Amino acid sequence: MAEAIEGHGGELALAAARAFGVNEMFTLSGGHVFPLYDAAHKIGFPIYDVRHEQTAVFAAEAVAKLQRRPGLAVLTAGPGVTNGISGLTSAFFNASPVLVLGGRAPQFRWGSGSLQEFDHVPLVAPITKYAGTVTDTDAIPGEVRAALTAALTAHRGPAFLDLPLEIVFSTGEAAAPGEPAVPVLEADPDEVSRAATLLASAERPVIIAGSDVWGGDAIAELRAAAEALQVPVFTNGMGRGALPPSHPLAFAKARRPALNEADVVCVIGTPLDFRLGFGEFGAAQVVHIVDAPSQRASHVETAVSPAGDLRRILTALAEHSGDRADHAEWIQGLRTAEDAGKARDAEAMAAETDLIKPARIYGELRKVLAPDAVTIGDGGDFVSYAGRYLEPAQPGTWLDPGPYGCLGTGMGYAMGARVTYPDRQICVLMGDGAAGFSLMDAESLVRQGLPVVMVVGNNGIWGLEKHPMQAMYGYDVAADLQPGLRYDDVVKALGGAGETVEKAAEIGPALERAFAAGVPYLVNVLTDPGDAYPRSSNLA
Ligand SMILES: Cc1ncc(C[n+]2csc(CCOP(=O)(O)OP(=O)(O)O)c2C)c(N)n1
Ligand SMILES: [Mg+2]
């Protein structure tokens, strides 16, 4: 071998992952994966450890989402891997390039009943782009490379490999990892040109841009296309902030009139799922631009659905040279609706009520958040309000759980965000119910010197379940939590800091203290349990 790497399985795996820009691992200890720790330890490669494996996978996912490069979680055999399943599934729904390296009971006595012996691969195959067991130490780097290439190939997503005990502890040799080579898919140019013509000639076009625009590094191209064709832009997921809120084509509040009146709706880089009314936009023609053919909607009749590299598609839209209709009046009308919506929001965010309304918390938060702050939503109604009232000033600063809707992302996403941005504000917005899933990992943040601010909207209930159940049945069960519970004391007991706030006027000063603290700090805001986020059901 001309250029070769040698070492134990952990060293070979880490060398291959580092070639793809992996800069840290998130993990919870287990003997099956010691060689991966040994490899990291020897070269000073950062290891962040947690109190529950789902936090490790969520942290890796946050790194993948924010940095658009692979995030790595190392999970021990059996229960370590199964505890990571919700994180893997979230990464699958979010197209996040996460690599999970799992330990695995020894191959040579498989079936004899080793500790934590379990075949993970069939379990994770449906929620990964690549899943396998490495059966030869020399094959580890090649397998890691194949897994990461699959994870980074649009449509992106997680990959999984498990390494049997004797394979990862043995020494091997392999070719040195070369530069990553990720295939780029070219969309059908005819379909792209039909999409451009539809948008340009529409009377009342709308663009909705989602996470894959960010994940595909196509934010600048989106903006160029919107400006060239003069089309109003709405966003969701990681697409939020793609256009700065002050941009003449950036809209958030006028979604209803926009979608009711549009004649062409162009959805880019996000599925036509419940968040978008399943793609039913009245009489409008639907253009669905996706990053891979697998992402085309099968439940909606689209006018055209170009599938391929989003940067190239959006560049082609920007360069469209055909006739175009004048959209000025349409944009002006939406701007009026947008301004009215903003005025209503401003009023809600200033609400001076005895029992604090969640809207007021966001009114206060907006005053202290820097434009590059990363905000993370983990909860029910409290996070729906966050989506409504927080306007990310730039892309790549808003983390929500995505369409899988998994509670418990909070501390993991916070850890990944803090590791990504040592100097930015990192703020987790948690329902009190959601807090229960991951709050123990505030300890991991404290111990490893990773300060974040947690704001709990503490209504004492599983609000997003209690209110709908009341509406449906006239009663509710399994929807109450302890009112006024001191989640701040939990974080204090874990070595961090915090306080409880009961009056609206106290929110602002508490947030100031939290961001200045330099340790994990929980602001526990007691909110009105009678307040319900206005929504139609998400269930059907
Ligand atoms: C892992 C998981 N379990 C359960 C649910 C169902 N669920 C969605 S929202 C919600 C209530 C969240 O309550 P809380 O975090 O207190 O926020 P609130 O709605 O009260 O503001 C529940 C239980 C879920 N989405 N994910
Ligand atoms: Mg709640």
Measure 403 CA to ligand 1 centroid, in angstroms. Answer: 14
The pLDDT value given to residue 322: 87
pLDDT digits (tens, 9 = 90+) for 277-320: 999 999 999 999 999 999 999 999 999 999 999 999 999 999 99
Ligand (nearest to CA of 458): 2
pLDDT above 60 (res 217):
yes
pLDDT digits (tens, 9 = 90+) for 47-67: 999 999 999 999 999 999 999
pLDDT above 60 (res 272):
yes
Cα distances (Å, whole numbers) of residue 213 to 50, 109, 217: 31, 47, 6
The pLDDT value given to residue 3: 85
Measure 3 CA to ligand 2 centroid, in angstroms. Answer: 56
pLDDT digits (tens, 9 = 90+) for 467-483: 999 999 999 999 999 99
Cα distances (Å, whole numbers) of residue 68 to 93, 511, 536: 15, 30, 33
In the chain, pLDDT over 90 holds for what percent of residues?
A: 97
pLDDT above 70 (res 360):
yes
Query: Rounded to 10 degrees, what is the CA torsion of 74, 77, 80, 82?
Result: 110
The pLDDT value given to residue 1: 52
Q: Per-residue DSSP letters for 424-449? A: S-EEEEEEHHHHHHHGGGHHHHHHTT
Paired strand residues for 453: 427, 521
Mean per-residue pLDDT of the chain:
97
| CA nearest ligand 1 atom 13, residue | 462
Q: For 13, what's the count of Cα atoms within 13 Å in the CB-facing half-sphere?
A: 35
Do 500 and 526 meet the contact criterion of CB atoms below 8 Å apart? yes
- Decide: 461 in ligand 1 pocket, CB within 6 A: yes
Q: For 161-171, what is the mean pLDDT?
A: 98
The pLDDT value given to residue 504: 97
Q: How many residues does the chain have?
A: 540
Residue where the block lists tokens 């040799």 = 173
Do 120 and 156 meet the contact criterion of CB atoms below 8 Å apart? no
| CA nearest ligand 1 atom 8, residue | 380
pLDDT above 70 (res 540):
no
Burial class (CB in 10 A: 0-12, 13-18, 19+), 44: exposed
What is the residue type of 336?
T
Ligand (nearest to CA of 406): 1
Q: For 370-381, what is the mean pLDDT?
A: 98
The pLDDT value given to residue 355: 96
Measure 528 CA to ligand 2 centroid, in angstroms. Answer: 10
Measure 439 CA to ligand 2 centroid, in angstroms. Answer: 14
Cα distance between residue 44 and residue 38, in whole Å = 10
pLDDT band at 343 (very low <50, low <70, confident <90, very high): very high
Cα distance between residue 264 and residue 206, in whole Å = 6
Q: How do the residues of the chain divide into helix, strand and coil, expressed in percent and rounded to 5?
A: 45, 15, 40
Query: Rounded to 10 degrees, what is the CA torsion of 372, 208, 59, 485?
Result: 80
pLDDT band at 535 (very low <50, low <70, confident <90, very high): confident
pLDDT above 90 (res 429):
yes
CA pseudo-torsion sign 61, 294, 141, 35: positive
Query: Rounded to 10 degrees, what is the CA torsion of 24, 27, 31, 36?
Result: -20
Q: For 505-528, what is the mean pLDDT?
A: 98
Measure 402 CA to ligand 2 centroid, in angstroms. Answer: 19
Cα distance between residue 220 and residue 217, in whole Å = 8
Pairing relationship of beta strands 171-175 and 4-8 according to DSSP bridges: antiparallel
pLDDT band at 538 (very low <50, low <70, confident <90, very high): low
pLDDT digits (tens, 9 = 90+) for 68-117: 999 999 999 999 999 999 999 999 999 999 999 999 999 999 999 999 99
Closest-CA residue to 50 (of 66, 28, 65): 28
Q: For 183-209, what is the mean pLDDT?
A: 97
In the chain, pLDDT over 70 holds for what percent of residues?
A: 99
CA 261 to chain centre: 30
pLDDT above 80 (res 40):
yes
Closest-CA residue to 49 (of 440, 321, 536): 440
| CA nearest ligand 1 atom 4, residue | 407
Determine the atom of ligand 1 nearest the C-alpha atom of 462: 13
Paired strand residues for 455: 429, 523
pLDDT above 70 (res 462):
yes
Q: What angle do CA 95, 425, 434 make, to 5 degrees?
A: 60
pLDDT digits (tens, 9 = 90+) for 402-417: 999 999 999 999 999 9
